[in-house]
Structure 1
Amino acid sequence: MKVSDILRVKGGTLYTCQPDEPLVKAIEIMAEFDIGSLAVMEHGELVGMLTFREVIHTLAKNGGSVGTRQVRGVMDDHPMSCTPETELDQVRPMMLERHTRYMPVMDNRMLMGVISFYDVAKAVVDSQNFENKMLKAYIRDWPEEETGKNEPNFP
């Protein structure tokens, strides 16, 4: 399974902000749409990712306030990314190794979407459930072996 399969199921909605926006506005967008990340775009290009992790670290460092900070000052300006053609078996260890919960999907310099660790886990579970269903159907329809002349025929 490839990342493009997740994006196809997930749909094309992409939430973004600009690096010079006030952090408080970005947090309001994240809360309004119940999302854990925003792709930070400038002049049509991805320049970073803002996730709840960066927001929480900022709040912890500043006594629970974000003040007048801008997104640029707290965003991850070197997010790990993948392509639509990346296999999920490659994405899982990448996300686990760097504790990444949100990963931009890039096709050259174009942002195609953002996948979350939840998206990846759900795709793996759905795939395993489908495989289990197919295996159970195959076993249920297992052809009976013909018994030889000298073999007993047990029911």
Structure 2
Amino acid sequence: MTYEKGAKMKIRELVGGSAFLCGPDLTMTQAAEEMSEQKIGALAVTEKGELIGVITERDILRAVAQHATLQTTTVREWMTTDPDTIGADVNVEEAASWLLTAGYRHLPVMDNGELIGMASIKDVLWSVFDASKVADA
């Protein structure tokens, strides 16, 4: 497979084929610990092998602000259900535009109905930025 650099790169190349997952019955504390340990801002929530939601650092902050007991409150109660997803063959420039327009910071990447990773706005924008530096040189 040939990999493109920068803005022409496909999202599949950027996410590297891995997603950090959790189940819906994980506590919010456990989800926060996993995000902190992995240095990520979102987890894909799966059940029976299917993507059912996304839990983000913003969701955890919302729960804290509403005085939820994070040690007993589950991800299922705070996750975004039926999340939007992005196709694996979308190029990063298109992905950046969509993430910024929709206001997303993380988006599950799907390939033929299978979750293959999580695109973050940070990674996508860095990829586009690197491409623009090369183009300007």
What is the TM-score with the length of structure 1 in the denominator? 0.76
Gaps of 5+ in 2: 1-7
The root-mean-square deviation of aligned C-alpha atoms, in Å, is 1.6
**Residue of structure 1 in register with 2:35 after alignment:** 30
Pick the structure with more strand per residue. 2
Gaps of 5+ in 1: 134-155
* Equivalent-residue separation in structure 2 for 1:4 and 1:132 (angstroms): 25
* Equivalent-residue separation in structure 2 for 1:111 and 1:83 (angstroms): 10
* Equivalent-residue separation in structure 2 for 1:77 and 1:31 (angstroms): 22
* Equivalent-residue separation in structure 1 for 2:76 and 2:92 (angstroms): 30
Q: Which structure's relative contact order is higher, taking Cα pairs within 8 Å and 6+ residues apart?
A: 2
* Equivalent-residue separation in structure 2 for 1:14 and 1:82 (angstroms): 14
**Residue of structure 1 in register with 2:13 after alignment:** 5
> What does 1:3-152 correspond to in 2, within 5 Å?
3-7=11-15, 11-62=16-67, 65-133=69-137
**Structure 1 runs, 4 residues or longer, greater than 2 Å off:** 11-14, 87-90
1:67 deviates by: 4.4
Number of residue pairs matched? 129
Instruction: Give the residue type in structure 2 aligned to 1:40.
Output: V
* Equivalent-residue separation in structure 2 for 1:3 and 1:13 (angstroms): 12
Tell me the SS of whatever aligns to 1:69: coil
Instruction: Give the residue type in structure 1 aligned to 2:80.
Output: D
Q: Deviations over 1:126-146 (max 9, x none)?
A: 11122223xxxxxxxxxxxxx
* Equivalent-residue separation in structure 2 for 1:120 and 1:101 (angstroms): 10
* Equivalent-residue separation in structure 2 for 1:24 and 1:5 (angstroms): 31
Tell me the SS of whatever aligns to 2:86: coil
Instruction: Give the residue type in structure 1 aligned to 2:59.
Output: E
Name the larger-Rg structure.
Answer: 1
* Equivalent-residue separation in structure 2 for 1:28 and 1:35 (angstroms): 10
